[in-house]
Copies of this chain bind each other. A is one copy, B any other.
């Protein structure tokens, strides 16, 4: 198995991406195709080439975070994102991981790989739980701003299938995000979707509310891409806020106990403890409904997050998720 990794994407590219890819090659024994400037990559990872199954694929262009997604993929055919997605299209790699411009990755996936035949709408799914034991897979996290009820039903199917394939959860609980738990609560889209979801074979538990997200009430949280994007970014914003507060608090604690802090570090290092809960360290977002295994890692991913995203890419490829979605669609 070979995973293509966008070495030019993300705030900490190329160094943290390369580090994460090397770690993944060591830990998972998987082949890695690093996509980016060969010259830079050689300096960073050249010494690993003989020891690990790592190759370089040249891509001379980079898509910046502020570029218009569709324009960028059209005008930069030699960008790491377009080159990486093309490798996937040509069957040269099994999955593509990028911490770059998520809109551009989505657009490249749509245009180059195409959506799975019969799929109403591809979507972005990602975990937003802070507690690793309470999975919360949000779908759609931002791809489809305007949705119809049948789109949300399809997101529920893809999310449920993904959770069962990747996490082995037999019948994931599916919740529909709304402003109240009762079936009558919600906007028109939610009320109609609630009705449709009841008539599926999914383990639909009904409407859920914002405070249910972190409670583990449902493993699959279905919503439109407008609301999903706002929820995802709200959670991220609070999280960043807390991380910096915790860092401060940790420094205060450390200062107070300067003498003994070294030996008691495990109990006082709240900063590292909170970092363990960072949902962005685990895996990444998945493009579901397109012909290929594409994982979007967070823009601020460092080595561990990249390594974990590659791990998720491996699991997604091993389980042939796009093929399963195709079968689900034909049912």
Contacts and interface: CB of A to CB of B under 8 A. Distances in A.
B270 A270 contact: yes
B235 A179 contact: no
A187 B145 contact: yes
Nearest to A240: B211
Interface in A193-220: 209-215
A273 B251 CA distance: 14
A253 interface: yes
A130 interface: yes
B237 A211 contact: yes
A299 B117 CA distance: 49
A283 interface: no
Contact of A226 (B142, B186, B255, B270): B186
Contacts of A241: 130-131, 214-215
A44 B268 CA distance: 42
A225 B179 contact: yes
A146 B210 CA distance: 18
Contacts of A113: none
A249 B229 contact: no
A209 to B, nearest CB: 5
Contacts of A253: 253, 267-268, 270
A43 interface: no
Interface residues of A, number: 51
A219 to B, nearest CB: 16
A252 B256 CA distance: 16
Interface in A251-306: 252-253, 255-257, 264, 267-268, 270, 273, 277
A255 B233 CA distance: 36
Contacts of A178: 226, 230
Contacts of A131: 241
A234 to B, nearest CB: 4
Contacts of A185: 145
Contacts of A257: 257, 264
A45 interface: no
B229 A210 contact: yes
B230 A256 contact: no
Nearest to A234: B210
A252 B270 CA distance: 10
Contacts of A165: none
Residue of A226, A227, A270 with most chain B CB atoms under a 10 A cut-off: A226
Contacts of A229: 179-180, 209-210
29 contacts: A130-B241, A145-B179, A179-B225, A179-B229, A179-B230, A187-B226, A190-B226, A209-B229, A209-B230, A210-B229, A210-B230, A210-B231, A211-B236, A211-B240, A212-B237, A213-B237, A214-B240, A214-B241, A226-B227, A230-B231, A231-B231, A234-B234, A234-B235, A242-B242, A249-B273, A253-B253, A253-B267, A253-B270, A270-B270
Given A190-B226, A211-B237, A213-B237, 9 more contacts: A145-B179, A177-B230, A210-B236, A210-B237, A211-B233, A211-B236, A211-B240, A252-B267, A253-B270
